[in-house]
Amino acid sequence: MRKKIIFVAGHKGMVGSAIVRLLKKKNVFLITKDQNELDLTKQSLVEKFFKKKKIDQIYLAAAKVGGIYANNIYPGEFIYKNIMIQTNIIHSAFVSGIKKILFLGSSCIYPRSAKQPMKEEFLLTGTLEPTNEPYSIAKISGIKLCESYNRQYKDTHNIDYRCVIPTNLYGPNDNYHPKNSHVIAALIKKFHEAKIKNERIVEIWGTGKAKREFLHVDDLAKACFKIMNLSVKEYTAVTNSSLGYINVGYGKDITILKLAKIIKKIVDFHGKIEFNFDKPDGMMKRLLDSKRINDLKWKPKVSLYKGLVKTYENFKESLKNKKI
């Protein structure tokens, strides 16, 4: 029996690289492509590539991502690039006869005023958070594209396109750009640089009262592998044709203030924290209901504190090797 041939789109990103690390431990044949080798925004190139390979599964982790600042400054890029990448991959996979895809969504797809914790059925029941609306709409489009292709072609073409909705992520290969990074990466970089420069204050956007849920990316990779390889019966037992996605969260949230204090301690910064109330908080609370994947016998293994310690060590190692 031949090994499964698996393509990971976005293999250099935080999520994609975690999936690659996991798949390298499995009995599979792994395919990746750098951006200069394959432009995922060009459908003709993607389709040509897929038709050359006999791919069994695709993990669609490629995306343009960023924090509040990046989403506000580059809304056109966020909606265009994400829609193009995911549409090209999903449609090209379909016309090339690739049967299985796992699409990575985002917890920001849920309405700003959604009841907490957020269940899968809350999608499209209210207005989105304005600070990341273009990115959210792109991700919703990807989910609905997978669902729609399943509804129309599942029986005739035997396709099985699945979707995972992860909470906020952190871990190795995160983006530490000073303006375009997510909250944990941004805080680690701010506290570390303040420590090195002997600065007395670290400024953080918002009030510090917003609450977020954080999952280590290695836990997400294990969840993705599990969901991809569930039998159709197991997967459809917790999903349906118009709800073909599963939340993956840590199960607990934390205020940005408390998170900042933990990272401050880990970095060993001895100055003060000041919040800039003129900057946005984003959604005041965002916690996923992960009952469905918990019922499938998955639970996160990496505690937040241990994960943050490990992530700071990864950050320092990347600095040492000049990867940041």
| Amino acid at site 150 | N
Active site residue 135: yes
Rg (CA), the chain: 20
Is residue 255 classed exposed, middle or buried when 0-12, 13-18 and 19+ CB atoms within 10 A define those classes? middle
Neighbouring CB atoms inside 10 A of 4's CB total 16
Residue 41 to residue 311: CA distance in whole angstroms: 31
Residue 233 to residue 213: CA distance in whole angstroms: 30
Residue 158 to residue 160: CA distance in whole angstroms: 7
The one catalytic residue in 135, 149, 176, 250 is 135
Residue 246 to residue 227: CA distance in whole angstroms: 9
Tracing tokens 């389709």 back to the chain, one arrives at 47
Q: For the residues of 146-192, what is the DSSP string, one character each?
A: HHHHHHHHHHHH--EEEEEEE-EEESTT----TTT--HHHHHHHHHH
Nearest to 60 by CA among 186, 171, 185, 163: 163
Helix (H) or strand (E) holding 75: helix 75-95
Active site residues: 135
